[in-house]
């Protein structure tokens, strides 16, 4: 039993970083009041660029390329939603579609429909003395992103709650006019949050292709960006909350894979598709349970205009 | 932009009031002063030095602080966080909350404010939130404090307290600029008054040397204008009956004072009545034969019925001679948008031929009550009868069928379609019935004819039925809404904030129409945050506090002090 738990935790921690980074990116942007529906597209762009880059350069640099790619797509979102005050949801959906189609086009023209060649494996680190401890040992033996994913949520939480910048970001998401009357730049703060969110989304995508999957596939990230949005909502727009929600979703996914592989007979009773739908059904159920008691930033999705109060 | 060659200067340690109608440019001028807008031309100097403010940051740096009409506070943050936002104290790069709290506490203590720095702003009363705004400006070292319509949402007690705060600041050498349209308050607190009209400062007078009437006249400009005097005398309630002032009012409002139906009131009494806010003309609004055929001057006289101070109210017949009960409700409970109980057991009655006012500080269940009565919000408990049917299970369609008219709070969201033409908006909701339809077809000619008649009767400008509604001013849009609702001959009219944001002329007009509806036997349920308006119009007033009725007053026994106490929760079960 302990071994099963160990294995589940291990694969959860192995798979979770992409989800965590993406969810944190969404939290950062949305706390400042900009809807981040384009997350899936930013992850896809980040995953693709990182995978292509990883074929020709060291993996850490390739991940950086993926982050920049995510930020580039976020910049488009920034122009549309901050500069031109367009509908942020529509802008995000458009970005997702562009990334989907563009990614497929580039992938097929460069490598054919089966995805990029397999990438070199990321280095795994053992935590000294931890590997042999039952259950807790699941913390050992992961690649770098996992460890970053265990730290970054708390860092971002501290940024939002304990620094002047965080106070301003939260204020601009709740009441931008108050921020403007204090002589602070609403657009500047939101631009920072959106670009930061794009970097994190790109990081999530890059980690997904380079470390988790080991390649870029045609459907990457296959809805993970939307799960990350769900984690953000379920975590009530807080970094640590989103992190816990992401862990929960990743655990559910690990459970599914574990069930399918350890009990092949199960697949004869329950169709594979239904098992695969499990995390999403879980997401829906949880969001329903959470109900109306939303804690979304008050000015989320509302373009800032000086004249209107 | 609505400024045209406006000039203004303020001296140190002075309390200057800026008055003017809506749209006169008061707020625009202040936004220029605060760096939110950049002027196209002209110059600004502070302490004798010419300055250019590119953003509020520049204005703050030169010691100018602003308290906006709509509070600029982040509701989810604490008092201390709101006050220090933008200039947060830090320790090793991190936000130093403890120091922020002690700094804010120190500022509060220095200026005599009672505020808990750790309290979240959304848990505070409106009056306290306003103090946070003032502290925020003072904390930034504001020498010049601009307050934009600060008393619009305050109870009388809170307004008094604010006046003391402003005088206290001036006594400490700060300069205060007060933007207001409440002339009585302005005269009570200001040293000097600047009057704005159509983007210009048209007059500057010393408060001690002027009167409400003179100010009103300056505000609206020379020459009579339809109904424009309404607001000014409304503010007269409670003025000290100094004879000179009374005369001045009479002079300022000749057309209101002269035509007295019945004519038995002496000149002296008319002045007294005016000062008291109940013009002799008030008699014409009663549902008696003499009320018919009142000319436009009569309407003006009606419209200036003011705050009804006690000494004058005895002249007025009690209005409880109202007819059958249109709405009888007991134990009404409903849940607000935030999921919390908004109504916690409200009993009330509205009869035919009376205006029943609902007074209260914003957010105490008034909105939800109006929504329950119009079928927009479901009851969770309680029962009642509305125009012969049950109140439970009411839908907007049923309410309309039974004869409920509704002038909602947010007309753009609930009453009109901006993009449709005026005549289409007039037909909305009745578009399947004559004269707006004939058989299955819209009746363009009938609709045009009816709309033209209504535009004329309600003095909508411009009287063009084909214009998109969005092209009308707010006041004229509201007139269209009121025209449509009253044209349907409702038996019960529910009106919420009917005159908010309207200019003086439109306010007078809308209020006169509500009185006219009462005179024709309709019951009116009036919800307004403007206590003066509630008192001026209503025959009876219920005070709502946290979803309960905490007071019930019947004309003439209106005591503003007591009403204010009830609005803050004093006394329960009085109803």
B-chain residue closest to A292, CA distance: B339
In chain A, which residues have their Cβ closer than 8 Å to the Cβ of B85? 167-168, 171, 178-179, 182, 184
For the cut 90, the answer to whether the pLDDT of residue B122 exceeds it is no
Identify whether A126 is part of a domain: no
In chain B, which residues have their Cβ closer than 8 Å to the Cβ of A168? 85-86
Q: Chain A contact for B66, CB < 8 A?
A: yes
Backbone angles phi, psi at B415, to 5 degrees: -110, -30
Higher pLDDT, A54 or B20: A54
A-chain residue closest to B1, CA distance: A307
Could you tell me the CATH number of the domain that includes residue A194?
A: 1.10.3470.10
- Chain B closest-CA separation from residue A299 CA (Å): 10
Question: How many Cβ atoms sit within 10 Å of the Cβ of residue B2?
Answer: 14
d(CA B358, CA B551): 10
C-beta of residue B1 within 8 angstroms of C-beta of residue B191: no
Cis bond upstream, residue B50 (ω within 30): no
B-chain residue closest to A159, CA distance: B94
Length of chain B: 575
Identify whether A135 is part of a domain: no
A-to-B residue pairs, Cβ atoms closer than 8 angstroms: 75
How does residue B40 score in pLDDT terms, banded at 50, 70 and 90?
confident
In chain A, which residues have their Cβ closer than 8 Å to the Cβ of B68? 181, 309
Identify whether A66 is part of a domain: yes
Identify whether A206 is part of a domain: yes
B-chain residue closest to A297, CA distance: B76
Question: Are residues A181 and B339, on separate chains, in Cβ contact within 8 Å?
Answer: no
Give percent of chain B above pLDDT 70.
80
Best mutation target, B31, B72, B136, to test chain A (most A CBs within 10 A): B72
Any idea what the Cα angle at residue B202 is, between residues B200 and B203, rounded to 5°?
140
Question: DSSP label at B121?
Answer: G
Question: Are residues B95 and A168, on separate chains, in Cβ contact within 8 Å?
Answer: no
Lowest-pLDDT range of A83-97, B19-33, B475-489: B19-33
Query: B325-403+490-567 is classed in which CATH architecture?
Result: 3-Layer(aba) Sandwich (3.40)
Question: Are residues A164 and B58, on separate chains, in Cβ contact within 8 Å?
Answer: no
Q: Write down the pLDDT at residue B228.
A: 35
Q: Chain A contact for B388, CB < 8 A?
A: no
Question: Are residues B72 and A174, on separate chains, in Cβ contact within 8 Å?
Answer: no
Question: Are residues A164 and B88, on separate chains, in Cβ contact within 8 Å?
Answer: yes
Pairing of strands B540-545, B355-359: parallel
Residues B32-39 have a mean pLDDT of 82
Domain B15-210 shares a fold with domain B325-403+490-567: yes
In chain B, which residues have their Cβ closer than 8 Å to the Cβ of A292? 339
d(CA B248, CA B240): 13
pLDDT digits (tens, 9 = 90+) for B185-235: 888 899 999 988 877 888 888 988 888 888 878 877 654 443 333 333 322
- Which of A124-133, B48-57, B350-359 shows the highest mean pLDDT? B350-359
d(CA B13, CA B142): 12
In chain A, which residues have their Cβ closer than 8 Å to the Cβ of B132? none
DSSP run (H or E) holding B447: helix B444-457
A-chain residue closest to B55, CA distance: A183
Q: Write down the pLDDT at residue B314.
A: 33
CATH hierarchy code of domain B15-210:
3.40.50.300
B-chain residue closest to A180, CA distance: B56
Residues B446-455 have a mean pLDDT of 93
Q: Which residues contact A117 (CB under 8 A, 6 or more apart)?
A: A55, A111, A215
Q: Write down the pLDDT at residue B562.
A: 85
Question: Are residues A175 and B72, on separate chains, in Cβ contact within 8 Å?
Answer: yes
In chain A, which residues have their Cβ closer than 8 Å to the Cβ of B93? 163
Length of chain A: 309
- Which of B39-43, B158-162, B247-251 shows the highest mean pLDDT? B158-162
pLDDT digits (tens, 9 = 90+) for B283-315: 333 333 333 333 333 222 222 233 333 333 333
How does residue B104 score in pLDDT terms, banded at 50, 70 and 90?
very high
Question: Are residues B60 and A293, on separate chains, in Cβ contact within 8 Å?
Answer: no
In the block, which residue shows the tokens 């797509």? A73
Question: Are residues A181 and B34, on separate chains, in Cβ contact within 8 Å?
Answer: yes
Higher pLDDT, B377 or A295: B377
Q: Identify which of A174, A183, A298 has the shortest CB distance to residue B57.
A: A183
Q: Identify which of A167, A184, A293 has the shortest CB distance to residue B95.
A: A167
In chain A, which residues have their Cβ closer than 8 Å to the Cβ of B27? none
Higher pLDDT, B475 or B163: B163
Q: Write down the pLDDT at residue B283.
A: 35
d(CA B403, CA B401): 5
In chain B, which residues have their Cβ closer than 8 Å to the Cβ of A169? none
In chain A, which residues have their Cβ closer than 8 Å to the Cβ of B90? 163-164
In chain A, which residues have their Cβ closer than 8 Å to the Cβ of B75? 174-175, 298
Low-confidence ranges of chain A (pLDDT < 50): 308-309
d(CA B247, CA B269): 11
B-chain residue closest to A305, CA distance: B36
d(CA B259, CA B255): 7
Q: Write down the pLDDT at residue B413.
A: 82
How far is residue A67 CA from its own chain's centroid? 12
Question: How many Cβ atoms sit within 10 Å of the Cβ of residue B242?
Answer: 11
Q: Write down the pLDDT at residue B265.
A: 30
Q: Where are the domains of chain B?
A: 15-210, 225-313, 325-403+490-567
What is the DSSP track for B84-111?
HTTS--EETTEE-HHHHHHHHHHHHHHH
A-chain residue closest to B67, CA distance: A181
Identify whether A128 is part of a domain: no
Identify whether A138 is part of a domain: no
Q: Write down the pLDDT at residue B227.
A: 36
Residues B475-504 have a mean pLDDT of 88
Question: Over chain A, what HEC string results?
Answer: CHHHHHHHHHHHHHHHHHHHHHHHHHHHHHHCCCCCCCHHHHHHHHHHHHHHHHCCCCHHHHHHHHHHHHHHHHHHHHHHHHHCCCCHHHHHHHHHHHHHHHHHHHHHHHHCCCCCCCCCCCCEECCCCCCCCCCHHHHCCEEHHHHHHHHHHHHHHHHHHHCHHHHHHHHHHHCHHHHHHCCCCHHHHHHHHHHHHHHHHHHHHHHHHHHHHCCCCCCCCCCHHHHHHHHHHHCCCCHHHHHHHHHHHHHHHHHHHHHHHHCCCHHHHCCHHHHHHHHHHHHHHHHHHHCCCCCCCCCCCCCCCCCCC
Best mutation target, A166, A182, A237, to test chain B (most B CBs within 10 A): A182
Question: Are residues B75 and A181, on separate chains, in Cβ contact within 8 Å?
Answer: no
Residues B409-421 have a mean pLDDT of 86
For the cut 60, the answer to whether the pLDDT of residue B360 exceeds it is yes
Residue B496 bridge partners (DSSP): B527
Question: Which has the closest alpha carbon to B159: B147, B172, B144?
Answer: B147
Question: Are residues B76 and A174, on separate chains, in Cβ contact within 8 Å?
Answer: yes
In chain B, which residues have their Cβ closer than 8 Å to the Cβ of A293? 339
Residues B440-446 have a mean pLDDT of 91
Residues B130-139 have a mean pLDDT of 92
Question: Are residues B68 and A309, on separate chains, in Cβ contact within 8 Å?
Answer: yes
Best mutation target, B74, B120, B141, B336, to test chain A (most A CBs within 10 A): B74
Q: Identify which of A164, A178, A183 has the shortest CB distance to residue B74.
A: A178
d(CA A30, CA A26): 6
d(CA A153, CA A147): 11
Q: Identify which of A167, A178, A180 has the shortest CB distance to residue B88.
A: A167
d(CA B281, CA B98): 61
Question: Are residues A163 and B55, on separate chains, in Cβ contact within 8 Å?
Answer: no
Lowest-pLDDT range of B253-257, B324-328, B434-438: B253-257
Backbone angles phi, psi at B357, to 5 degrees: -95, 145
pLDDT digits (tens, 9 = 90+) for B503-544: 777 888 889 999 999 999 999 999 998 888 899 999 999 999
A-chain residue closest to B58, CA distance: A183
Backbone angles phi, psi at B200, to 5 degrees: -125, 155
d(CA B350, CA B328): 7
Question: How many Cβ atoms sit within 10 Å of the Cβ of residue A1?
Answer: 5
In chain B, which residues have their Cβ closer than 8 Å to the Cβ of A167? 77, 81, 85, 88, 95
Burial zone of A134 (CB within 10 Å; 0-12 exposed, 13-18 middle, 19+ buried): exposed
A-chain residue closest to B68, CA distance: A181
Residues B249-264 have a mean pLDDT of 31
Residues B443-452 have a mean pLDDT of 92
**A212-247 burial string, b = 16+ CB within 10 Å, else e?**
bbbbbbeebbbebbbbbbbbbbbbbbbbbbbbbbbb
Question: Are residues B60 and A171, on separate chains, in Cβ contact within 8 Å?
Answer: no
What is the DSSP track for B357-404?
EEE-STTSSHHHHHHHHTTSS--SEEEEEETTEESTT--HHHHHHHTE
Best mutation target, A31, A183, A296, A305, to test chain B (most B CBs within 10 A): A183
Q: Chain A contact for B96, CB < 8 A?
A: no
How far is residue A110 CA from its own chain's centroid? 26
CA atoms B523, B529, B532, B535: torsion sign: positive
Question: Are residues B56 and A181, on separate chains, in Cβ contact within 8 Å?
Answer: yes
Number of domains in chain A: 1
Higher pLDDT, B306 or B6: B6
B-chain residue closest to A167, CA distance: B85
Q: Chain A contact for B1, CB < 8 A?
A: no
Question: Are residues B36 and A306, on separate chains, in Cβ contact within 8 Å?
Answer: yes
d(CA B239, CA B277): 10
Question: Are residues B75 and A170, on separate chains, in Cβ contact within 8 Å?
Answer: no
d(CA A71, CA A60): 17
Question: Are residues B88 and A292, on separate chains, in Cβ contact within 8 Å?
Answer: no
């Amino acid at each position: 039993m302990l071994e099963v738990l160990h294995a589940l935790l291990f694969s959860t921690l192995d798979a979770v970083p992409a989800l965590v980074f993406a969810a944190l990116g969404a939290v950062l942007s949305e706390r400042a009041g900009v809807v981040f529906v384009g997350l899936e597209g930013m992850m896809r762009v980040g995953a693709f660029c990182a995978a292509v880059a990883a074929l020709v350069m060291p993996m850490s640099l390739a991940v950086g390329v993926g982050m920049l790619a995510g930020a580039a797509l976020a910049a488009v979102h920034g122009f549309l939603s901050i500069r031109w005050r367009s509908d942020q949801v529509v802008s995000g959906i458009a970005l997702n579609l562009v990334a989907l189609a563009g990614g497929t086009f580039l992938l097929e023209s460069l490598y054919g429909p089966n995805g990029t060649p397999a990438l070199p494996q990321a280095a795994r680190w053992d935590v000294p003395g931890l590997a042999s401890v039952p259950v807790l040992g699941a913390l050992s033996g992961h690649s770098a992103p996992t460890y970053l994913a265990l730290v970054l949520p708390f860092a971002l939480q501290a940024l939002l709650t304990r620094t002047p910048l965080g106070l301003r970001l939260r204020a601009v998401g709740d009441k931008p006019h108050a921020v403007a009357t204090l002589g602070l730049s609403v657009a500047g703060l939101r631009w920072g949050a959106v670009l930061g969110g794009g970097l994190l989304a790109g990081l999530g995508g890059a980690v997904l292709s380079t470390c988790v999957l080991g390649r870029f596939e045609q459907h990457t990230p296959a809805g993970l960006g939307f799960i990350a949005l769900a984690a953000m909502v379920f975590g009530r727009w807080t970094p640590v909350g989103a992190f816990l929600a992401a862990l929960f979703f990743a655990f559910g996914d690990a459970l599914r894979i574990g069930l399918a592989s350890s009990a092949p007979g199960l697949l004869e009773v329950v169709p594979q598709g239904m098992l695969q739908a499990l995390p999403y059904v879980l997401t829906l159920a949880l969001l329903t349970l959470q109900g109306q008691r939303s804690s979304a930033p008050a000015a989320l999705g509302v373009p800032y205009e000086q004249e209107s109060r | 932009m609505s400024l045209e060659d406006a000039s203004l200067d303020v001296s140190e340690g002075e309390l200057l009031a800026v008055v003017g109608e809506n749209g006169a440019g008061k707020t625009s001028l202040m936004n220029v002063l605060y760096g939110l807008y950049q002027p196209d031309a002209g110059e600004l100097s502070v302490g004798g030095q010419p300055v250019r403010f590119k953003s509020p940051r520049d204005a703050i740096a030169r010691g100018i602080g602003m308290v906006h009409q709509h509070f600029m506070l982040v509701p989810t943050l604490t008092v201390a966080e709101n006050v220090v936002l933008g200039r947060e104290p830090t320790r090793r790069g991190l936000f130093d909350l403890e120091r922020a709290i002690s700094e804010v506490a120190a500022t509060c203590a220095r200026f005599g404010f009672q505020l808990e720095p750790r309290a979240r702003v959304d848990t505070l009363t409106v009056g306290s939130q306003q103090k946070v705004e003032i502290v925020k400006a003072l904390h930034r070292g504001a020498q010049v404090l601009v307050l934009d319509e600060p008393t619009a949402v305050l109870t009388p007690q809170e307004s008094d307290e604010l006046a003391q705060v402003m005088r206290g600041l001036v006594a400490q050498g700060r300069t205060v600029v007060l933007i207001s349209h409440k002339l009585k308050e302005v005269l009570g607190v200001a040293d000097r008054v600047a009057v704005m009209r159509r983007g210009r400062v048209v007059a500057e007078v010393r408060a001690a040397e002027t009167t409400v009437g003179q100010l009103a006249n300056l505000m609206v400009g020379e020459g009579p204008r339809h109904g424009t005097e309404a607001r000014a005398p409304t503010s007269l309630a409670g003025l000290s009956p100094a004879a000179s002032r009374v005369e001045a009012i009479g002079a300022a409002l000749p057309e209101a004072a002269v035509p007295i139906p019945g004519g038995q009131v002496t000149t002296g009494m008319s002045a007294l009545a005016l000062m008291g806010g109940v013009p002799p003309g008030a008699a014409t609004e009663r549902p008696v034969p003499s009320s018919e055929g009142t000319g436009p001057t009569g309407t003006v006289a009606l419209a200036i019925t003011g705050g009804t101070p006690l000494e004058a109210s005895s002249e007025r017949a009690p209005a409880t001679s109202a007819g059958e009960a249109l709405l009888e409700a007991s134990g009404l409970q409903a849940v607000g948008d935030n999921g919390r109980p908004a109504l916690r057991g409200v009993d009330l009655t509205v009869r035919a031929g009376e205006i029943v006012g609902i007074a209260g500080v914003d957010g105490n269940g008034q909105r939800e009550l109006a929504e329950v009565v119009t079928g927009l919000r479901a009851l969770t408990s309680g029962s009642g009868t509305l125009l012969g049917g049950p109140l439970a299970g009411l839908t907007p369609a049923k309410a309309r069928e039974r004869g409920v008219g509704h002038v909602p709070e947010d007309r753009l969201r609930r009453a009109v379609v901006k993009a449709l033409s005026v005549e289409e908006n007039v037909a909305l909701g009745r578009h399947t019935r004559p004269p707006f339809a004939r058989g299955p077809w819209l009746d363009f000619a009938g609709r045009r004819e009816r709309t033209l008649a209504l535009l004329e009767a309600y003095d909508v400008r411009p009287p063009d039925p084909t214009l998109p509604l969005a092209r009308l001013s707010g006041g004229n849009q509201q007139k269209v809404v009121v025209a449509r609702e009253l044209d349907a001959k409702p038996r019960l009219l529910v009106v919420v904030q009917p005159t908010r944001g309207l200019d003086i002329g439109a306010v007078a007009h809308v209020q006169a129409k509500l009185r006219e509806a009462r005179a024709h036997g309709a019951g009116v349920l009036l919800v307004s945050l403007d206590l003066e308006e509630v008192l001026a119009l209503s025959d009876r007033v219920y005070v709502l506090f946290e979803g309960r009725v905490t007071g019930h007053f019947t004309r003439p026994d209106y005591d503003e002090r007591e009403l204010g106490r009830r609005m803050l929760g004093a006394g329960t079960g009085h109803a």
